[in-house]
Amino acid sequence: MTRITFIGAGSVTFTRQLLRDLFSFPELADTRIALHDIDSERLATAEALARRTADAHGAKPTILASTDRRTALEGADVVVNMVAVGGHHATVTDFEVPAAFGLRQTVGDTLGIGGIYRALRTFPLLRALAADMAVVCPQAWLLNYTNPMAMNVQYLAAVAPDMKVAGLCHSVYWTVHELCAVVGVPFEEVDVLSAGVNHQAWILRWEHEGRDLYPALDAAIAADSQLTRRVRVDMYRALGRYPTETSEHSSEYVPWYLPHDAEIERLRIPIGDYLRVSSDNLREYGTLRQCLADGETLPSPGEEDATEYAPQVIHSLATGTPRTIQVTTANTGLITNLPGGAAVEVPATLDRFGVHPRHVGALPAQLAALNRSFLNVVELVVAAAVEGDPRHIRHAAMCDPATAATLPIDQIWKLCDAMTAAHGAALAPPLRNLIPAKGL
């Protein structure tokens, strides 16, 4: 029996989606599912939802729920992390405080001020989770969905180098889906090679029956002026390869868009969009909880095909079924012109023995240059946490492309002080210190 633990199971919509995909595999119908969350109400909702989902698929899993993390982790083969430390309230803080300084964000969960402080809130949880796993399930795979992906995976590589970790994100999968729809070829028939960093990887090759599909994309863009009003298309036309995250996300990782009113208008960039998404998630949770309490039919979870990566990883570990997916992992020469040890996103093969990242080689120079700018921020945030040095938080913000394009140094340091004060006890104690601007 495969034993799976969900950390942050109170993210009930995503828990439901993962369980739906898991139970679509007959071989996993009798798995053991352990649910953990520190919010007992959300945990109870997740447990009820898990049982309803199992019944809907005719599965007979063993399901347990615990607010004690070690109890939930005991004997796990796979641990799925999807914690959002601080929840909706922290997300609102991540937007409102920077906005007061004139700094624009769209999603704020990967890079920029929002990504930096989301990472700093998450790192203490990751360190504690790694310590617990080392005691009660040392051979388990940790499959991380929590953003900021690159920062979290690079931090785990620093503090728990022996842990088996794979960062999972569906951005490449859905990017290729959408591109195939644009050029009119079946997704199932294309061959793709993508690599870079999570949320800023690149479609390096994209072919159908040996035919390069990029010329077809060029023709589609030329025929539809609305396509040129997307950040990703704008970046592709300048850089030569298509980025693998949404335009909302992509606009935050470069200096060219958010500081400019005209670019926001031209490319229809939705400032603060994740605040709406976060509020929608709260409403969806409330609807699911009420439906469960009333015994009503649950809203449809969407497509029935298994699409998320974690269930595919678990199925391959259990059955040996070979697959290829995208993972974020430490760079052990996988991408030769990105820093060693950095968290990179590459293809990986799956089988009964685990997750095996593939060597990609060198990225085109212009793409590697952008990725290095991204990874500079990642490196400094991880250094702040590992070394307990709050100055590196400020250095990371200074190196962040969109922040540096908007604010002078004094304002960046004051913004970091304001964010530090706002998040308070969620940060590790050495990082709570406020520092005068340019204070060394």
Token pair recorded at residue 411 = 């304002």
Work out the number of other CB atoms within 10 angstroms of the CB of residue 410.
11
**Cα 279 from Cα 92, distance rounded (Å):** 10
Angle at the Cα of 158 (from 6 to 83), degrees rounded to 5? 25
CA angle 28, 31, 32 (to 5 degrees): 160
Q: Measuring CA to CA, which residue among 65, 2, 7 is closest to residue 29? A: 2
CA 391 to chain centre: 26
Return the structure tokens found at 65: 């729920």
Q: Are strands 190-197 and 164-167 parallel, antiparallel or unpaired?
A: unpaired
CA distance 166 to 358: 13
Our answer to whether residue 170 is catalytic in this structure is yes
Q: Which of 36, 57, 88, 170 is catalytic?
A: 170
Query: 224-233, long-range: CB within 8 Å, 24+ apart, which pairs?
Result: 227/182, 229/266, 229/267, 229/268, 230/267, 230/268, 231/257, 231/267, 231/269
Q: Three-class SS of residue 203?
A: strand
Q: Any residues with CB less than 8 A from the CB of 267 and at least 6 apart, and which?
A: 229, 230, 231, 234, 247, 251, 257
Residues 38 and 66 sit within 8 Å (Cβ to Cβ): no
| CA nearest to 392, candidates 344, 340, 422, 428 | 428
Residue 3, token pair as written in the block: 């034993």
Question: Which residues 6+ apart lie within 8 Å of 150 measured at CB?
Answer: 110, 167, 197, 198, 199, 328, 342, 343, 345, 374, 375, 378
Q: What is the separation of C-alpha 178 from the centre of its chain, rounded to a whole number of angstroms? A: 19
Which residue's structure tokens are 């063993």?
A: 62
Q: Minimal CA–CA distance to 326: which of 170, 155, 151, 150?
A: 170
Please name the residues in contact with 425: beta carbons below 8 A apart, sequence gap of 6 or more.
432
Q: How far apart are CA 404 and CA 432, in angstroms?
A: 22
Residues tagged active-site: 170
